[in-house]
Chains A and B, each alone.
Chain A
Amino acid sequence: MLVQALIGFMGAITFAHIYRVPTKQLFYAGLVGSLGWTICLITRELWGEIGGVFAAATAVAICSEMLARRRRQPVLVFLIPGVIPLVPGGKAYLTMLSFLQDDYGEALVLLVTTVLLAGAVAAGIIIASSIFRLYSRAKHVRR
């Protein structure tokens, strides 16, 4: 598990560098990615693959919003590297492979799974971010 957490950290921090995250924030971006990937691995056992990705994406988005406020950075700086390990690249690849091998039945199943996984990432981000948006709007109104 520790090795997996490290791999998640590495994936997030390197992709953060590809997208040119400010150097000072790189470490935190990696941390968010590591957390997301670890949560995904744990909850996947409990709630299945899609549930795991959804839980992880929600956690990543919550952490990114909190870090962004604390460190006065745009949310994207933490959110983009954080969700990178959750992108269903493997499933997308297998989908393409099945289409190539004329195995359309399998390909369609994989395609639907890929779309659902991507949807789970999006749903996680949307739910967490809208809660934060509501919260900051409420604070704004009270002032």
Chain B
Amino acid sequence: MEQLVGLVLLAGELLLTCGAEMYRVEETIERMGRAAGFVQVEGFATPTGLFISLHAPNGRVYTRVRRIRRSHNNLSTIAEVNSLSRAFSEGTLTVDEVRVELERLRQEGAPESLTRQLIGGGGAMAFTLIFGGNWFEGFIAGIVGAIVLVLVTWLDRYPVPKVLQAATGAAFATALIMGISNVLPIHPDLTTLGAVMVMTPGVAMTTAIRDLLSGELLSGLSRSAEALSVFVAIATGVAMVIRLGGR
């Protein structure tokens, strides 16, 4: 029983740290708890903490609280935990198999690689093009965007708040592009815009909407606040450099 409680808790924790919607976390806890043989399963998830209470058939109640301090965007972990929990409740996977898989996912965390950052640079390029830049500006934005992602990833290894990471990345990108625009014929605004877009809090933004929709006001509001604060931080970073640069 003790082990099953840990299993349910781990699944919920993984989903939360990877940015899943609250209803998915609570539904997964409920589904896995029932499949594990608990008669009553209560789960309460917020972006910063997880509370579960599992009632065993013999009358014992197991309650666990897990504080979530760090989070990252990892949609493939959400997808995998989701299918694991389904397989577990359908009985096609045993408890041990599920535990091994969940542990592996936790160890993996959010794998970083240079490829990911370079591809992210491609995102910056696409955004410059979407906002009407030409291919050359897109190319420059792509390179700067990739550098920004490397910088932000590096900052993320230290206890730097997300807001400060975004402001630093944005300031760095703006300064770099301002320098480049003195030498090469690029439109500094369009290029900067593309490069800073790689830090858009897309996951927080979309889950906030979906959380609000399913009546999760607490996490919906806190995630909206998270997304908004990152946007403001990016704008602040850009604005500071533009002011200092004398435009």
Task: Tell me, in angstroms, the Cα distance from A19 to B239 when the chains sit together.
Answer: 26
Of the candidate stretches B1-9, B41-49, B205-213, the one touching chain A is B205-213
Chain B residues, CB < 8 A from A130: 213
Q: Is the CB of A20 within 8 A of B20?
A: no
Identify which of A72, A77, A92 contacts B231 (C-beta below 8 A). Answer: A92
Chain A's closest residue to B214 (CB) is A133
Q: Is the CB of A97 within 8 A of B79?
A: no
Task: Tell me, in angstroms, the Cα distance from A130 to B129 when the chains sit together.
Answer: 33
Within 8 A of B (CB), among A5-46: 7-8, 10-11, 14-23, 25, 37
A87 CB within 8 Å of chain B: yes
Task: Tell me, in angstroms, the Cα distance from A125 to B76 when the chains sit together.
Answer: 21
* Shortest distance between the CB of B148 and any CB in chain A (Å): 11
A14-B126, A74-B24, A84-B202 in contact; A93/B193 too (CB < 8 A)? yes
A7-B130, A74-B20, A97-B189 in contact; A20/B206 too (CB < 8 A)? no
Interface string of B116-134 (1 = CB under 8 A from A): 1001111101110111000
B73 CB within 8 Å of chain A: yes
Q: Is the CB of B78 within 8 A of A76?
A: yes
Main secondary structure of the interface of A (DSSP, over half): helix
Q: Is the CB of A87 within 8 A of B202?
A: yes
Q: Is the CB of B122 within 8 A of A74?
A: no
Measured CB to CB, the residues of A under 8 A from B are 7-8, 10-11, 14-23, 25, 37, 72-77, 79-81, 83-85, 87, 89-90, 92-93, 95-97, 99-100, 121-122, 125-126, 129-130, 133
Measured CB to CB, the residues of B under 8 A from A are 20-21, 24, 73-80, 82-83, 110-111, 116, 119-123, 125-127, 129-131, 149, 189, 192-193, 197-198, 200, 202-203, 205-207, 209-210, 212-214, 231, 235, 238-239, 242-243
Task: Please name the 10 residue pairs, one residue from A and one from B, whose CB atoms are nearest each other, closest first.
Answer: A11-B126, A14-B123, A22-B76, A14-B122, A10-B126, A96-B235, A90-B131, A20-B74, A19-B73, A18-B120
